[in-house]
Amino acid sequence: MLKVNVENITFTGDGNKQTLLQNNKFELSKGKVYTILGKNGTGKSTLIKAITGLLNENLFKTKGTVFFDEYNLLTIESEELRNIRLNAIRYVFQDAITTFNPLKTFRYYFENSNAQKADIVSLMKYFLLPSYEEISKLYPYEVSGGMAQRLSMVLAFAIKPELIIFDEPTSNVDYAISNLLLLKLKQYTKEENNIALLVTQDINFAEKASDEIAFLSNKALSSFKKNSDFFSQQDDETLNAIVNSYNEIK
Amino acid sequence: MTEKLIELKNIYYSAESDNLSLSKKDTTDILFDVSFSVDEKEVLGICGESGGGKSTLAKLIAGIFNPTKGEIVLNNKITPQKNKPREIQILFQNSSDLVNPYRKINTIINEALKLAGIKKEDIETEKKKLIETIDINPALLIRRGLGLSGGERQRIALARLLAVKPKVLILDEPFSAQDITSQINFVKLLKKINEDLGVTIICVSHDLKILRNLAQKIIILKEGRMVETGTIVEVFNNPQNPYTRFLLSAESLELSYDELQNRN
């Protein structure tokens, strides 16, 4: 269970203080897929990074609390936080390729993961990746962006974290992979009783994958609504525009 | 009257990867016997799953790689001339990263126009036209790359290419980091560039529904082989290849695990 109460996140990088997000409160409970929808540049990625204190402290200030079970992740000892990031909360970032060290082959990531080799192998097969041996020899710059994103998914799922967070999971992969991820998310939350949190602008994927959806605009997140309710009651202008665009291209 | 602008004849491509161990070179076969042509002022979509060779094909047409076997014939309207920018330009997948974050947009565009051989006194007029074409706020000119959104930087990268007045514009997954509203606006922009400036467009994307809105003709690549080609109507209404049918049905995101694993 994750309980987020972020009063504000401010950015002070360029000298001026700028408020990026304000009054963001939500709770995630086990067995569900949650999605945060929003346009480019609304602060979706900032919000999910703030959850485990991944924002650069010199540039961003986060005020509030984030409770993961009984731990407040914003004040917890760094060793404990590291442990949670390793085993309990895992991210799959949008630009997955840059999350790997270019000087290390994937063997390093496979062998230094806390996961069982058998789990990695079967997840790689699931996500239609080449064999464990083949990928082990490769450096991150030798795989495509989509492949890096899938490998990042494999490494995250293999640990079996209680909370798995995806930033734009469908931006670099094709429909077959999106479809596989969707099925995996359902199994991972429903059968294995974990939590998945997605941030995306892909309405189609959000609609098919999520149990509950919230919309981020004007620095604040709406409350999470059931999937069907979310799409039937669009009271937000921006959201309306996005849904209309989606229908235009469909 | 349409005319073949670029013709690919039985293209094969294998990549050699330098292993850091320096002991041996691995080759990977990427494209097999790909043949098609692009007409003048056409918009062609290239679609397929990731790792299927789409980006490689785009880079071959752009002349960045040379085919291992086969031939790419350019119409004599595209004449490679020394010391002149190429008439086939490519917008890379990570184009927004290619805009220098520390330089002013104005400087970046001026430089592109200068390289395109525009005379000093005409630069301001050309720049105004360019800004209008790519539809960005002129106020952005005084900003630096750092302060722009990914979508804005992508348009600046595009402006830089259009400055040299290319005959052919190749785009590699231009929609992947955009939200749906930006995607639609970008499709409209590309259509405008095609219709108003007469630029032939080749667009690589894994997103069939966007290509349906943009292209006139489409090519489906599967594991380096061209499995289907035709007009948008032909391919979407009456797909011949099982893989094309698979791609079309995968868009629904409603396939089962077995259907996904056993795709043709």
pLDDT at B74 over 90: no
Number of domains in chain B: 2
Which residue among B166, B200, B219 closes a domain? B166
Helices (H), chain A: 44-51, 78-87, 106-111, 117-126, 132-136, 145-158, 175-186, 203-209, 227-232, 237-249
Q: Spell out the residues 6+ positions from residue B147 whose beta carbon is closer than 8 angstroms to its own.
A: none
Return the number of CB contacts < 8 Å for A and B: 93
Residue A128 in any domain: the answer is: no
Residues 69-88 of chain B with CB under 8 A from chain A are none
Residues B218 and B251 in one domain: yes
Range of the domain at B101: 97-166
- What is the nearest CA distance from B114 to chain A, expressed in angstroms? 32
Residues B116 and B207 in one domain: no
Residues B74 and B101 in one domain: no
Burial (0-12, 13-18, 19+ Cβ within 10 Å), A103: exposed
Q: Look at A169 and A238; give whichever has higher pLDDT.
A: A169
Distances (CA, A) of A124 to A23, A191, B161: 39, 20, 39
- What is the nearest CA distance from A114 to chain B, expressed in angstroms? 27
- The average pLDDT across B79-95 equals 78
Q: What integer pLDDT is reported at residue A214 of this predicted model? A: 93
Vertex B156, ends B158 and B161: CA angle to 5°? 30
Residue A135 in any domain: the answer is: no
Residue A182 in any domain: the answer is: no
Residue A100 in any domain: the answer is: no
- The average pLDDT across A237-242 equals 73
Residue A94 in any domain: the answer is: no
CATH number of the domain encompassing residue B237: 3.40.50.300
Question: What is the C-alpha separation between A203 and A74, in angstroms, rounded?
Answer: 31
Residues B155 and B204 in one domain: no
ipTM of the complex: 0.78
Helix (H) or strand (E) holding B219: strand B217-222
Question: What is the C-alpha separation between A124 and B247, in angstroms, rounded?
Answer: 21
Q: Spell out the residues 6+ positions from residue A28 whose beta carbon is closer than 8 angstroms to its own.
A: A1, A2, A4, A34, A163, A195, A197
Q: Which residues pair with B234 in a beta bridge?
A: none
Considering only CB atoms, which residues of chain A are within 8 Å of chain B?
39-41, 94, 128, 139, 142, 144-147, 168, 171-180, 182-183, 201-205, 208-209, 241-242, 245-246, 248-250
Residues B103 and B125 in one domain: yes
Residues B206 and B226 in one domain: yes
Q: Spell out the residues 6+ positions from residue A15 whose beta carbon is closer than 8 angstroms to its own.
A: none
- Name the percent of chain A lying above pLDDT 70: 96
Residue B89 in any domain: the answer is: no
pLDDT at B128 over 80: yes
Residue B6 in any domain: the answer is: yes
Chain A residue whose CA is closest to B149: A41
Residue contact A242–B180, C-beta within 8 A: yes
- What is the nearest CA distance from B11 to chain A, expressed in angstroms? 22
Residues B107 and B154 in one domain: yes
pLDDT at B192 over 60: yes
Residues B209 and B251 in one domain: yes
pTM over 0.90: no
User: Widest CA span of chain A, in angstroms?
Assistant: 51
- The average pLDDT across B80-97 equals 79
Which residue among B166, B194, B224 closes a domain? B166
- The average pLDDT across B197-223 equals 94
- The average pLDDT across B112-117 equals 92
Q: Which residues pair with B4 in a beta bridge?
A: B39
Residue A143 in any domain: the answer is: no
Which residue among B122, B146, B166 closes a domain? B166
Residue B110 in any domain: the answer is: yes
- The average pLDDT across B79-103 equals 81
Question: What is the C-alpha separation between B187 and B131, in angstroms, rounded?
Answer: 17
Confidence category of residue B84, pLDDT binned at 50, 70, 90: low
Q: Which residue type occupies B172?
A: D
Residue B201 in any domain: the answer is: yes
Residues B224 and B241 in one domain: yes
Confidence category of residue B23, pLDDT binned at 50, 70, 90: low
Q: Which residues of B touch A247 (CB under 8 A)?
A: none
Residue B87 in any domain: the answer is: no
CATH number of the domain encompassing residue A212: 3.40.50.300
Residue A53 in any domain: the answer is: yes
By the CB < 8 Å criterion, does B97 face chain A? no
Q: Which residues of B touch A41 (CB under 8 A)?
A: 149
Q: Report the length, in residues, of chain A.
A: 250
Residue A152 in any domain: the answer is: no
Residues B149 and B173 in one domain: no
Q: Spell out the residues 6+ positions from residue A118 whose beta carbon is closer than 8 angstroms to its own.
A: none
Residues B157 and B181 in one domain: no
> pLDDT tens-digit profile of A169-207?
988 888 889 999 999 999 999 999 999 999 998 888 999
Q: Report the length, in residues, of chain B.
A: 264
Residue contact A142–B17, C-beta within 8 A: yes
- The average pLDDT across B232-240 equals 95
* Average model confidence (pLDDT) across chain A: 90
Residue B92 in any domain: the answer is: no
Residue B13 in any domain: the answer is: yes
pLDDT at B17 over 80: no
- Name the percent of chain A lying above pLDDT 90: 63
Q: Which residues of B touch A173 (CB under 8 A)?
A: 50, 206
Number of domains in chain A: 1
Residue B174 in any domain: the answer is: yes
- The average pLDDT across B37-43 equals 95
Range of the domain at A63: 2-88+162-169+198-249
Residues B172 and B231 in one domain: yes
